Structures are given as structure tokens and as C-alpha cells.
Structure 1
Amino acid sequence: MSALRELGARVWCVATPDIYARFGDQAEVESAVLVSDCTDVEEILCALQREGLSPSDFDAVCSQQEFSLVATALLGAELSPIKPLTAALLRDKYLQKSRIAEADIPVAGCRIHPDLAALDSVSDQLPVVVKPILGASCANTYVARDTQEFGHAIAEFRTSGFNGPFLVEEFVTGAEHHVDGIVRDGELLFLGISRYLQNVIELRSGVLSGSIALRPVLYPSLYEKVSSLARASLAALGHRDGVFHMEVFVHGDEVTFSECAGRVGGGPIDQLVSAHFGVDLHLEWAKTMFGGPGPVTAAPSGEVHGYALLMAAGTGTVRAIPSRAEFLAQDGVVSGRPMVGVGYRVDAPTAASDVHIGEVVVRGATEDDVVKRLHEINEWFRAQVVLG
């Protein structure tokens, strides 16, 4: 919202009461329209009407929230840069991968199983990845390489109460990368590639989750291949205006499409892209909302940058956690912050990538330096966090 205001926009914000209670004092909006569910088109439309408002009263209807993309597209119609069909393709992983496959872009095969009972037939088709069709942040997402991991996934689904429908994907080997960029009028204006420290699916095993931004001058062949795949994928999905957060697998000379979202990447990926590539994804997204000018101005850094999501070492109530100032006092830290405060209850510290309790971006002379520093910051953070 700060990027929209920077361009002179007056902003009305649809939000849930809990989110507005946490961040409303930072929003600087004309008005907040409160709803219980930001994905419910009916509720949002009714709430707007109660405020004497209609979507047609605005110049743009937009969202940077994953779960609100379809509602925004439906409510905004011509006022939304993402149309309903494209929004559905960006949200529904089955529709998305099917469209990508139809465009002859390398992608894992997938199929839908309606419920837990239907998953029984999958046990002889391993390895696979099992996830919700409309999921995000690896929540309720499991890799099953063998019958033991498959049984664990089934048990976790039962414990969580999630009974489907499920998307079952072929397991793809290779190093996972995230690709963050800007597209305007169908033209790819910027693309930055970052390599995950570990494939995101391994998050549940307790590995450090994060990535290293890659300099184009050091990876010209990779940038050429990924740029070609990104252009073809965005065209297939009909995503012509806005930002994107894509994930791909790199195995030797092969690049395989994984997923694509029509928003800025989660965690501190926006800060990573800003520090390493010199591009403000939020500002460029805001420009797109109002038909802003191209091209994108980038100011790449001569250093290497990486980020990490900092998870709690266990469960319990947070009694102490480092402040933003304490993060910035650490060597090599570009940005960092706690994501929760004292009193927050940690119940499942590695359930998904969005349950981290801290995040950090660091810089260094080499990729190895940055990886080492990220692990050091992770150890420092865990030593400072007190759970009771």
C-alpha cells in the first residue's frame, strides 16, 4: 500500500479485523472495509455497499495477497489487471500445470484425487508430492519417496483434518530456484533468479529455508534458459501485467516449471530483490496498476545477497525474541526483523514456510560467504529466542 501511496493513490483497504488490528496504524488508508473473509466475493461486495461504495467507484481493484487474487479479479473486472481466468490459473495448481503442459513447457505430471480414500491408489506410484490444489507456502504439502513417507503424509492429513481434494504430482529432481520478475503488456521487463538453500519441500525436516540471489553475469546460460521458460509460461497463463513469483527446478541443462504466482514472493524476497538487483517489486507492481511506464530501472549490487526464514527451535510461548535493531547490529545483515512478539504461541514450528518467527537478508563477497552467514544468523537467532 505504501507503493500505491507513493504514486499518489488514495487507498481503500479490505481487511479482516485481526489483520487490521495488527497493521491498521501503519496502513495510512482512506478507509478500511472490514470482512471476515477476504476471499469471499459476496461478503466483500456487501461490505462495500454498507459503506456506500461499489467497485466501479475506483480506478483500480488490486491485491498482492495470494488468496485474494480471484476475488479481486471478479470484483474488479476491467478495473483489475489480472482477469478471472488468469487469476484461476495462477491459483489452481492443477489448472496451471495443465495449461503449462499444453504449451509444451517441461512440467511435472499431476492428477487430482478427491479424498483420503482415493489416495490409497497412490502408494504404488511413488515418489510423488501430495498437496492441496489451492495451497500456498507448503502448508499441507508432503513429499512421499517411499511407503513410510507416504504413510506419514496420510497420518498428517488426518491429524490436520484436511480431507482433500488433493493434487498428486510427479516428484521432480533438481535444485529448486525462485524467479521473481515484472511483466507489462506481455513483455518481460525484469527477471531475477535465486537458488534455494534447500528445496522448499524439505522445510519440514528442519533445514534452513532461504535462498541466494544469482548474478546474471555469472550464470548467463541459466538466465537465458529461465527467461525463455518464463516468457512462454507467462504467455500460456495469460499473465500480462504485474509481478510474478515463479519456481523452477534446475537439473543439469534442464529447467522444469514448478509453480507461478501473480504476486511478490513471500517472506523477505522483496528485500532480497531490492538489495541484490536494485528493483522495487512493490513499486513496479503499483505502476502497473495505473498503466505506469516501462522500462524497469535496475541497479544491481556488486555483492552477493541471500535470505533466510528463521524458525523456532521448538514449541512454546515466546518469552524473548531479538528486535529489529538487534538484527541490524549483526555483521552483514541488510535487513531483518522478528515476525512475532512476546506472548506468541509456537505450536508447529516447521509446518509451512509462512510460520517463521523471524526473517533476515544478508550480504557477502561470495555465495559461500552468504550461506555461512545465514547459518550463523540462524544459530544466533535461535540462541536469543526464549520459549516457555
Structure 2
Amino acid sequence: MSGMNRPMMLLIGLDRYVLDACGRLGVDAVAVYGAGTRDNGLQEIPDHVRPVFCDDHRNPEAVLTALHRAGFAGRRFDAVQTTDEWALVATSVLGTALGCRTVDPGTAVLFRDKHLQKERVRAAGIPAARSAVLEDIHLVGEGARLPFAPAVVKPITGAGTSLTSVVNDATELRRLASVYRDQRTANRTFVAEEFMPGQEWTADGVVSHGEVIFYGLGEYASSCLSAIESGTPLRMRKFDPDAERWAYDLAGPVVHAALAALGATDGVFHMELFHDPDSGRVAFSECALRRGGALTHEEIHCKFNVDLGEAAVRCALGDRQVPDVKVRPGTVGSSYLPSRPGILLSCSSAERLRELPAVEFARIDLPPGTVLPSAFSGTSKRIGQVMFVTPSTEELDQRVEETRSWFLERLQVIPRDVVTRRLREWTRATAGAGYADILYVPDQA
């Protein structure tokens, strides 16, 4: 993509792998980001990208006014792209307004609204849960009824398993609504989905010009919801397309049919599925038109030699592509690192984690001073992550447990909500400082 006429892309939000790909592919990029990203301070913007700050990069008005202030009022962009789940519809609207390549707004809506998405997929004959809209969770009262039970209740345009619960009857639904009303949740419109039993699978891949040109299949060790409810660190692994071809044979028709039903033409996708081991049936759960979170990018690149950041840039520009898939032998998987409630004092570094057996990659996501909750509220929250490559699934299980234990032994967390005496005791045991009540004795010399 180098030469006299370098393409110009508008990026909404910051994705480290998309930013890197723009530099390697010779794409001029303007990246608009908001206050949350700036305050987080983790994402660095490379020199080859022009940054533009605004109050909220998920708000088209904030983005457009910021672009005008930065001197881009009359600049022609070839494409606009985002990896931010909550910015997908705004990005589509911006691209339409700017007259550049983008996701169609109607398609973007289908990839955000979980009820509309399932209705479209079910209408195409694809197995999926029934769903019902709860227009305002704050107003769910005594007359409320649950159309099916048990049901999974969650924000209709949410992500990361945030504010997601299983309710078994109308009484539990009303109780949950009361909690959200008291919390004054910003999310008001929810969806109740028929509970689907089975194993939770993932499909992460690339669709180009309406064709699925690659996807890698994976699984969660336990469902995202059960991991959040139990406080257990999330675990994932990728299926090998040769050794576990049976899984691809089962999931493939659902993946292709669902993307076609939702109108996906160009982009990176993250799909979740339910596999029933007894019947062998694979059902659709939900799909996002962006790469998956956690270490999805790293797992896919490691196992299949496919760079989802580069694929996202090429798809946004309409570049027809054929990924150079090279399947790495063995088992590739990852895990969130364990935590304890309190104030994070210190933990092992990513560099030290990478020295452990079978560890291919590691990240620490939270800095010292962060308040760690008793349980993280969604899958986008974690103290850190680690990726493994092992000869077998059994060894992956072993390495995950060993690494979690090793990390937890070295995790230093200051207790919260305890009396001062307990803090003094903890400090003596941990740091060797007693903070004793010292008396002043004048020097008699």
C-alpha cells in the first residue's frame, strides 16, 4: 500500500495492533480517542499516527468537532475503522457522513443489538435462543412476566458479560430490576434470552467481500458468565483444525450462515456459539464485528499465523486478501491471572512471567495502586493475562494451574476495610516495617 497515493484511514479508538499494521502497510492514519483512553494511559500512539483527542470517541458530534479543530474539516478519508464494540454504530454513521468506506449503518445495528441480531439469525433458520426486549429495566415491576425460564438478562447493546445474570422466574427478574434501579445503571434497555446449555465456543476470523476467508475455533474452559459469577479467572484455548476437525465440521455451517444472515461484508469478527456435547448441535450465541478481547489477537496469530490487526486494516480499505494460514502444532491457550481484593501493591512483571515454562506471551493490565474488587464485573476486567503453547491440552491445564499459583504467591495486595492494627500487622509481615509508636528521647550528650 506504499507509493505516491497512500491511503488515509480514520481510526475511532485505539487498537495497538491496528495502529502497528497501518505503519507496516504504509497507511496514513488519524486516530481519534476519548478521555477514558487518555486517563487509562496504557495505549501508546506511535509516531506514524496522527492523534486527535475528544471528549468521547463514541459520540459522532465529539469526533466531528474534534476533527474540524484539528484541521481535518475538508480532508478526504478512504475508510473509517474501529475495534471498539461501543463505537461501531457511531463509526458507521461517521463514515457515511464523511463519504468513505465503512460498515453499513443497518448492518452495524444488527451487530450491536442482541435482540435484533438473534431475530435475524433465527429467521434464517439458524439455531439460536429466543429473546424478548425489556424496554426499561428500571420499570420492571409487579406485573412483569418472564417469557421463558431460565433466562439470561443483559444489556441489549452490552459487551464483556457486564450486568449479565441468570434469572429463573419472574420474582428473580423483579428482584434484579430493583437492584439495577437502586444502582441507577446507565443501561436501561435489556434483553432476556432463553438459557442455552452446553459448552461455550468462539469463532474469530475475517470476512472479505462477503466471504469468510478464515476463522479459528476455540472454547472457554467454563462459560464467561460462570467465570464472572464464581470469580474464577477466565480460560480459553484454540481448537486445532487438523486434530479437532470434528469441531470445525460442526461449527462451520453456523459461522458461515450467521455472518451471511447478518450482512457482514468486510471485517474481522468475533462469534460465540453453544455446543451441546450430547446432541452434537452447535447453536449461535452472538457476534461482534471486531476482533475478540482478552488475548484473542495473540492466540490467533500464534496458532494460525493470521494478524487480525492487519486484516482489519485491509478489510476496511476493501483490499481483497487471502491470509497465509500456517497452523502451529500443539495447543495454544490463555488464562486471566488470579487476584485478591484490596489495593494492588506489586505483582510479577510480564517479563518474569514470560520466563516460566510454556509461557509464550504475558501482559499486566493494572498498575500498582489499583483497587482490586472481590470479583471483577466483566470479562474486560483483569489484573493480567498469559498465553501458553503446550504439546497437549492436558499439559496446558497443568501449566495454567502452576502459573496461576506462582503468580498468586508473589502478588502483594494491601488489605482494605480493616482496622489500622491489622494494616500494621500486615506491613510488619510483608515489608518488615512496624510503624511503631516511637517516643522522643532527647540527646543527653
Counterpart position of 1:355? 381
Q: CA deviation at 1:25?
A: 4.2
Deviations 1:300-353 (A, max 9, x none): 111101111224222x21100221111101111010011011111223532111
Q: CA deviation at 1:126?
A: 2.3
Counterpart position of 2:206? 182
Counterpart position of 2:325? 298
Deviations 1:132-177 (A, max 9, x none): 0010000101122468965774465245422621100000001001
Supply the RMSD in Å over aligned alpha carbons: 2.1
1:111 counterpart (132, 148, 152): 132
Gaps of 5+ in 2: 1-18, 415-445
Task: Give the stretch that moved more between structures: 262-271 or 46-55.
Answer: 46-55
2:253 counterpart (228, 253, 258): 228
Q: CA deviation at 1:248?
A: 0.1
Q: CA deviation at 1:103?
A: 0.9
1:69 counterpart (84, 88, 95): 88
Q: Closer, same or farther in 2 for the Cα pair 1:154/1:369, shift >3 Å? A: farther
1:345 counterpart (371, 390, 393): 371
Q: Partners in 2 of 1:8 and 1:29 — Cα distance?
A: 9
Structure 1 residue 237 and structure 2 residue 258: aligned? Answer: no
Q: Partners in 1 of 2:222 and 2:179 — Cα distance?
A: 22
Q: Partners in 2 of 1:242 and 1:331 — Cα distance?
A: 35
- Which amino acid is the alignment partner of residue 63 of structure 1? T
Q: Partners in 1 of 2:61 and 2:156 — Cα distance?
A: 22
- Which amino acid is the alignment partner of residue 85 of structure 2? E
Task: Give structure 1 regions of 4+ aligned residues with deviation exceeding 6 angstroms.
Answer: 146-149
Q: Does structure 2 conserve the Cα–Cα contact (< 8 Å) formed by 1:208 and 1:375? A: no
Secondary structure of 1:31's counterpart equals strand
Structure 1 residue 161 and structure 2 residue 184: aligned? Answer: yes
Structure 1 residue 81 and structure 2 residue 81: aligned? Answer: no
Counterpart position of 1:369? 395
Secondary structure of 2:28's counterpart equals coil
Q: Does structure 1 conserve the Cα–Cα contact (< 8 Å) formed by 2:35 and 2:56? A: no
Q: CA deviation at 1:365?
A: 1.1
Which has the larger Rg? 2
Q: Partners in 2 of 1:386 and 1:148 — Cα distance?
A: 42
Q: CA deviation at 1:28?
A: 2.7
Q: CA deviation at 1:292?
A: 2.4
Secondary structure of 2:111's counterpart equals helix
Secondary structure of 1:353's counterpart equals coil
Q: Partners in 1 of 2:409 and 2:101 — Cα distance?
A: 46
Q: Does structure 1 conserve the Cα–Cα contact (< 8 Å) formed by 2:340 and 2:374? A: no
- Which amino acid is the alignment partner of residue 218 of structure 1? A
Q: Closer, same or farther in 2 for the Cα pair 1:241/1:204, shift >3 Å? A: same
1:142 counterpart (165, 178, 191): 165
The percentage of aligned residue pairs carrying the same residue is 29
Deviations 1:262-303 (A, max 9, x none): 111001111111111221111111121222242111111111
Q: Does structure 1 conserve the Cα–Cα contact (< 8 Å) formed by 2:291 and 2:308? A: yes
Q: Closer, same or farther in 2 for the Cα pair 1:30/1:217, shift >3 Å? A: closer
Q: Does structure 2 conserve the Cα–Cα contact (< 8 Å) formed by 1:90 and 1:96? A: yes
Secondary structure of 1:236's counterpart equals helix
1:279 counterpart (290, 298, 306): 306
Q: Partners in 2 of 1:168 and 1:102 — Cα distance?
A: 18
Q: Closer, same or farther in 2 for the Cα pair 1:116/1:276, shift >3 Å? A: same
Q: Closer, same or farther in 2 for the Cα pair 1:65/1:175, shift >3 Å? A: same
Q: Closer, same or farther in 2 for the Cα pair 1:133/1:350, shift >3 Å? A: same
Normalised TM-score (structure 1): 0.94
Q: Closer, same or farther in 2 for the Cα pair 1:301/1:53, shift >3 Å? A: same
Counterpart position of 1:37? 56
Normalised TM-score (structure 2): 0.82
Q: Partners in 1 of 2:212 and 2:251 — Cα distance?
A: 12
Secondary structure of 2:275's counterpart equals strand
Structure 1 residue 317 and structure 2 residue 343: aligned? Answer: yes
Counterpart position of 1:27? 46
Q: Does structure 2 conserve the Cα–Cα contact (< 8 Å) formed by 1:349 and 1:355? A: no
